[in-house]
Structures are given as structure tokens and as C-alpha cells.
């Protein structure tokens, strides 16, 4: 197998490997351009859970939120700007890409109000758009998304460079292909230079 044929096969399979991420990238980008697709939460259920908490055991909302998250085996990040503790009670919030968990309670009463909210499907895709860190409490196959995302970025870089090479060595290459390549590259460089200087 020649180098050209090897690159062509690799180019095809890398394209298939990157396709799921590119589809998510394209669809989730719609939420940035259309305000009607902004993140919203829909209540799913609300229940009371028998949990006894001692105020003296927690110095910060984060300590309480992470303790509740781990004890209830929830998956998600603690949200500090939506959580607080005062002398009478508490409110803590834990969120992942698809669910929002809100827990409220009063000190001295051995139960909490546990509310689960659901996000839109487009919001979940938007979260995958830039997910690079591990989700606390998530299984390995979910946290493996960040690795897949990194591999996709490097694959796309190789995909682009090998595509240029294959186009260059192709016997059917037209003169207009060089025009489109140089033109698009020039426009990208001009735009990035302008944003760098203006910004």
C-alpha cells in the first residue's frame, strides 16, 4: 500500500471517528446563536428525604453540598452561587449536564426537600460542547468523554493536513482548489489578526 492510499484510508476512518463529535458541535452551536434555545429547567419531581444534619459539622455550603451529593450518590458539580447556609437552614445545588438537584432544609428537622429539575436536550449537547473536566460521581465511561474530545481535536488536525496533501497530489486536482484553500486560510488569518489587535 502506498503512502497516498494509506493516508486516504486513515483519512476516511478518522472522519468516521470524528463524526459524532462534529454533529454534537454543530447542533449545540445553535444554542449560542438562538436565544430561544437558552438553558431552562423543567421540574421532574420533589420529595422529602429523611436525613439528619448537624449544623456544626459543616463550615461552608460546599462542604454540605458535597456531603449530600456523595451520600445520595448524585452525579454533578456543586454550584456555589446558588447555595447558602444561615442560622435557620440551608439551600444547596448540585448540577450535571442533564439534571439539576436542589436540596433545602431546616436545622433541627431530620429531613430535607429534594427537588430534581431536567434540562433541555439542546442544553445537554451544549454541555458536551466544552466538557473537559470530570463530573464528580460519574462513571468512567462518562468521564471518558474528555479524552474522546481531545483525540477528536488531534484527529481533525491530522484530517485537515492529510486532506490538503491528498488534494495536492491528486491527478484530478483543479486550479480552483488552491484558490479556495488560500482564500479561506487568508480570511481566517485576517479575522484572527483583527480580533487579536482589536481586542
- pLDDT tens for residues 5-58? 787 788 788 888 888 888 887 777 776 666 665 667 788 889 999 988 888 888
Q: Show the beta-strand stretches assigned E in 19-145.
A: 41-49, 77-78, 84-85, 89-95, 99-106, 112-119
Please state whether 137 falls in left (phi above 0), alpha (psi between -120 and 50) or beta.
Answer: left
pTM given for the model: 0.71
Q: What is the DSSP string of 146-159?
A: HHHHHHHHHHHHHH
Q: Give the list of residues 6+ apart from residue 33 with CB closer than 8 angstroms, or none.
A: none
3-state secondary structure of 48: strand
Cα dist from 101 to 81, 98, 139, whole Å = 14, 10, 18
- pLDDT tens for residues 98-143? 899 999 999 988 999 999 999 877 777 777 776 777 889 888 888 8
Residue recorded with cell 494509506: 6
Residue recorded with cell 427537588: 115
Rounded Cα–Cα distance for residues 187 and 6 (Å): 31
Amino acid at each position: 500500500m502506498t503512502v497516498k492510499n494509506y493516508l486516504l484510508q486513515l483519512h476516511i476512518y478518522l472522519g468516521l471517528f470524528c463524526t459524532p463529535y462534529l454533529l454534537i458541535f454543530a447542533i449545540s452551536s445553535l444554542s449560542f446563536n438562538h436565544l430561544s434555545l437558552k438553558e431552562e429547567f423543567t421540574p421532574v419531581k420533589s420529595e422529602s428525604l429523611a436525613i439528619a444534619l448537624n449544623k456544626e459539622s459543616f463550615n461552608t455550603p460546599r462542604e454540605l453540598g458535597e456531603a449530600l451529593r456523595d451520600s445520595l450518590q448524585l452525579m454533578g458539580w456543586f454550584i456555589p452561587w446558588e447555595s447558602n447556609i444561615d442560622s435557620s437552614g440551608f439551600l444547596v445545588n448540585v448540577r450535571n449536564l442533564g439534571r439539576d438537584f436542589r436540596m433545602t432544609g431546616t436545622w433541627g428537622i431530620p429531613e430535607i426537600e429534594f427537588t430534581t429539575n431536567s434540562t433541555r436536550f439542546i442544553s445537554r449537547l451544549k454541555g458536551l460542547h466544552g466538557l473537559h473536566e470530570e463530573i464528580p460521581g460519574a462513571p468512567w465511561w462518562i468521564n471518558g468523554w474528555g479524552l474522546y474530545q481531545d483525540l477528536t481535536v488531534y484527529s481533525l488536525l491530522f484530517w485537515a493536513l492529510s486532506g490538503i496533501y491528498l488534494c495536492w497530489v491528486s491527478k484530478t486536482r483543479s486550479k480552483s482548489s488552491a484558490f479556495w484553500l488560500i482564500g479561506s486560510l487568508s480570511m481566517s488569518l485576517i479575522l484572527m489578526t483583527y480580533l487579536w489587535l482589536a481586542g
